[in-house]
Chain A
């Protein structure tokens, strides 16, 4: 097994909240260009798993290897700077700002540096936004409008386009279509397909069985804080996945790879 195309690996990743074992000994791997779905019931540990990888929380124990090196991010900003882009379940958008401002929130382009009073390079941010939206195939009627006036789908697309505008090594999406209508879901799924064509790795958390089988190469099932199944999407079916999710079928794979 060649290790150099493994983009992210976790070994024995564990998180306890007081006495609650939210995540226990999660061994996980994702390779360059691979799209992996994480499935499981509510409270199975999916979001906890993501929060450890993105360093929104600090793990109780275990190892995270990202890009060949063991990491100890001290916060989500460090993780993002290292190349892990996350689309959070709760949209991390500022309603009153326009599209470019949201895309560049926290990493604005500056004309020159004057500390907090650095002037913004609005033209460059606007241009990069247009390119990022074009690359992801997102249509937004007017970039200068505030996000408040946009539909849920457009907002989600902006959130996803944010990850696509910046060079990233790994994208994580936490239920990106949970709150969307049919057409909007199609739009987001197209963005994901485009990412697959470009060979960008993705961890997708989703409850939508059709979507998962449509989009990903591999399905990892969480149950009660443990990884209970690691399935090739081509060699399994919905029935199988459901039985792992509900616990009808038991299993502890040696390594999720």
Chain B
């Protein structure tokens, strides 16, 4: 073969070899799902021809969109979405993080203890955890305490996985129980309430969506355009290759788990601020929903593949399905069954796609 003898370098382009971005598939899936619910609204007899996203008749919000439902849809995925940004990085790295849900509970308890106000309607705070000194602290204090707590838990997760080489599933499963325990031990099970106004403003109104959007934006760039992102993909793709290339695998793993847990702690700050209270049971199932969002968004559980854009779209799919089921008046237990089916299908589809693309 003549042209193999001397190449022209890697400058020739073959447009058909350009791979179709997975994010587009998820985007189309999102549109298809919305259409399905719209069709269901028109066809199901008991729905009386309603529309899920559009509002042609009342025009309450001054647009033809049903803004109220859109807001609820985004709002209910935003906080778990923040967790899923970290989970995405951990899965791309080739790991898994089961501890994020209980970490939300524990971090919320700890954070709220430093965010309490002294007087509630002129009476002393009935839920006070600490003494005088912990009342009405500047808002940065609970935020920093929360992030530090998250970083500490993440460092233990990452340290165990990197240095003792136990499987991430086991390390974070243990941390799952430990965090749930911490959350209950912190106040012996009592809720912590009545934050300062400045803390309450962190998660009020549409603030959770702002946090989710902003953090997604930041981590999209970090994963795509920095050394950190490149090494995360490399380790998840081929850990031996990454090691032989001189990447400090252990240090990098700890860093990724620390960042993931700090994101879960951020979710805890936003959630406790939004709810104006912290309870030890908060964040139940969040770790699984966060993993589900990432998986629906095309993050491969074998590591090395996925993106923040995909996960954000996965969160949107998650939100649309959740409120869509409520909208077609499907009972909660059917919702869980359907959700499980969708998660399994997403992974099966991803595997088919993977097998067909690699010869």
Contact = CB atoms under 8 A, between A and B. Distances in A.
Interface string A16-45: 000000000000000000000000000000
A87 B53 CA distance: 56
A107 interface: yes
Contacts of B242: 94, 105-106
Contacts of B240: 90, 92
Contacts of A106: 242, 245-247
A88 B19 contact: no
Contacts of B8: 134, 139
B10 A140 contact: yes
Given A120-B225, A131-B9, A145-B19, A93 B241 contact: yes
B225 A119 contact: yes
B135 to A, nearest CB: 36
Chain B: interface size category? 35 or more
Contacts, number: 130
B227 A120 contact: yes
Interface string A221-232: 000000000000
Nearest to A135: B9
A80 interface: yes
B302 to A, nearest CB: 10
Interface stretch (B25-33, B196-204, B228-236, B345-353): B228-236
A212 to B, nearest CB: 20
B187 interface: no
A120 B222 CA distance: 10
Contacts of B247: 105-106
A97 B223 CA distance: 13
A187 B227 CA distance: 32
Given A95-B238, A96-B305, A138-B7, A149 B246 contact: no
A138 B3 CA distance: 10
A146 B226 contact: no
B227 A118 contact: yes
A149 B10 contact: no
B225 A96 contact: no
B17 interface: yes
Given A80-B246, A120-B227, A120-B230, A190 B6 contact: yes
A117 B222 contact: yes
Nearest to B14: A141
Given A96-B305, A105-B234, A130-B9, A139 B228 contact: no
Given A94-B304, A149-B19, A116 B9 contact: no
Contacts of B5: 137, 186, 190
Interface of B: 1, 3-14, 17-19, 222, 225-228, 230-231, 233-234, 236-238, 240-242, 244-247, 252, 255, 304-305, 357-358
